[in-house]
Structure 1
């Protein structure tokens, strides 16, 4: 496919997303299945165009004065790909599967584009307007700058499994991919992504198959370290899912102690078993509910009540901190989903409280930027549980050896963001039981 044909395909996929209100991965998959002639590079290029258009959907529409898929792609090509009117006219020629030629209105618009400095905050920052009060509460005058950092593509980070190797040895083994050390995590390596938005295919490397590393954003690695997990402790990963943080905790504990992994849905735990076998982590016990966790049924962790040093709550949330990787998600998020996540956060925190021993702690983590899911969830929990108090963020950072990591303070914890930390967005609060 020519570059112009790929642009036409991206407009087609965006039209499908907009018309049928469906997730971008589904629309891209259907497009690829219907066009077997498109090779892997073509599919990757079209996906990159679609996701870039979604990253800056609001600002691109503002630049072109219309919110049609074609206008959004044109605005994106100006905003992110830095193409000028002459280059766009060459691509929008109408020839050989290219998009239709630029209209007179489009040509005039490209000749005198408005400045984003004059745009409303949700437009300049490319986020849903209904989230403006929440994001302003989190970032104040820096809201647009913080959200513009979300428009950039995320790098590809891995966590070196220190149960099997160390960072320098793995960097040498993967030298053909030119890795760099992550700036804040002592166990991370970073890889650049290409023009198609994809990084190197690391999952086929012998070192991955042997469990010497896991793909994990540096922010997630830092969040695991901020749980203050130590060797010899008894720890529960209450929302383990596929096990990314479970594996990181096992390495931090140096395979010494007891680590219990569970989730509300047994199906989410399925990938964890294979990852554990590769990792060499021997202290992990997976506790699976029967089907889906139901408070009315016996709790698979009931025997651990009041005996746990640390309960890690990697809580269900909106995922607003991962919008660099999932730009489709920010436009699909609705107020009802936020309200549902807040209920789930309250439920899982209350469950965690029953497990913690006196003097123990809860490490509450979200990949969210929204105060309702962060400070709001912590405040509501403290109102329900008088025996817990927030551990000051400075104390947590110092204890984790991360005092120098750039971050934002909140009332209850620490917030990592793409702009301040160069990572995905993560909130971490440590709550100690008296």
Structure 2
């Protein structure tokens, strides 16, 4: 088994939320601001949360026209065999039937159907082995760290009856990922393909496996408003659960309340006694979501066209005007903790490559030319930073107007003016020296 897994009772003594999970994280979904983190960078088992990557690659393939929703798939012997393993989450697939990709997608996203997931992998890449290669490559492309995919489902390879992709792992290996990496994947899934939430929020659906063989699929995300651990106002509409003996009880959740979306991850969630239960991953997720929505708000701290005090202009060399106005290109939105509205300072960071050694822009200058960025510098006591490591939020600072280059006559007269100004400055200094 993978060396990444932590002992199943690794709780932090200083965890103010008392989150019972080996790894956990909560982020705001539009900015990637981390609101809470616990052991977020250790690779742990993720089980069927792996299907988020399969889903991402499928949605990307649909967008690029490589696969179509109404495209039909005939099950391979591998897929048929796995689909009839009733000890796994599955819908039974038949060799004499053809299934549309949209239906296999629903089975994967709603019911965590494992054979349907392998079917999607085979459709996209020809084989699960080729698809797992794509999964690892996509993870790197998305900037994930602390991960390893050995199959497309999140099952332990021992459940694949000897047919697992042998290029990526051994007979008992399993997918691993850190809480932060899972949050990054969910962040991209929600922001790049928000339409997927229409599927992840479906509580129940029927899958037509064959003549007279309809399967009632209930979403394993029991926090959806109409299911057993849900409530009508919790805002939960995704994403993916996962459970194996190795990974424990896992869940990547997302919810929208009052215009703010939060993404949470818990890995090996347990009750207070360290026991994994049906409700533990949802209980710990509720802690994270309630904390996030009760303590943080997305606010526009600096509006579009904002000018920084003492930095409203920038000198321009050889221009018709001697300076150009600066302003923010877009508004700067921040996730602000309650009571910390004034915990940020606006700081201008200029792009030195745009300036000469004396800090001047060289004419001509075009309107909306990016010359730097406005950084919201946090002055509070505790901050988890952002999902991708940046410490502060920022927005581009641009020139507010054009500055044409001055003609030769204007430049000459300025030169003469500077010449006599220097002479006069020398004379006055000498005269002052007499007294």
Structure 1 length as normaliser, TM-score?
0.24
Question: Which gives a bigger RCO, structure 1 or 2 (Cα 8 Å, sep 6+)?
Answer: 2
Greater Cα radius of gyration, structure 1 or 2? 2
